[in-house]
A and B are shown apart, each in its own frame.
Chain A
Amino acid sequence: DIQMTQSPSSLSASVGDRVSITCRASQGINIYLAWFQQRPGKAPKSLIYDASTLQSGVPSRFSGSGSGTDFTLTISSLQPEDSATYFCQQFVSYPYTFGQGTKLEIK
């Protein structure tokens, strides 16, 4: 199975900050990487697929980059509603696997 490792596990930042979350795959996954946002008690929301393609309706302050084994989710100007847990996921091969999550708190 492909292991997905996110860092950091948690972070705290202020409104307007630029924030980055990293996801590393245990083997190359090309660009088959997705990012999700999950608020407490809610379903995941799809943000990005194919490493850098924004889902329809996702604000442009979210962006994704990377290929192979190393990927980054960046929020260019943090907003209060971005407080959530973020997960990455590989969909190059079964079983699909997710990172353990990064909890983002707004100061």
Chain B
Amino acid sequence: AQSVTQLDSQVPVFEEAPVELRCNYSSSVSVYLFWYVQYPNQGLQLLLKYLSGSTLVKGINGFEAEFNKSQTSFHLRKPSVHISDTAEYFCAVSDKAAGNKLTFGGGTRVLVKP
């Protein structure tokens, strides 16, 4: 069975500083990995996704993530955050064995401080 662990439940960060959100997954087969962002009182918006190919994936709003198969990780990074990046971030995995059932991590709340 697939599972996703987001190691940090909250990450406070100052404006213009870099941020990294950690995500580890467990799955025995090929996986499709996602990062979604949820702003307060909003739905989920896709930031980026990985299926195959280059392990460095670039997404919207300056975010990028790196797929590391040996470490089963898919960490999200942004070199310089803005106040507007304050939100909840969810890592999710989908694999063949589970059809298209997305399994979400517990979420990481990013609080950007001025």
A interacts with B: no
B residues touching A (Cβ–Cβ < 8 Å)?
none
A residues touching B (Cβ–Cβ < 8 Å)?
none
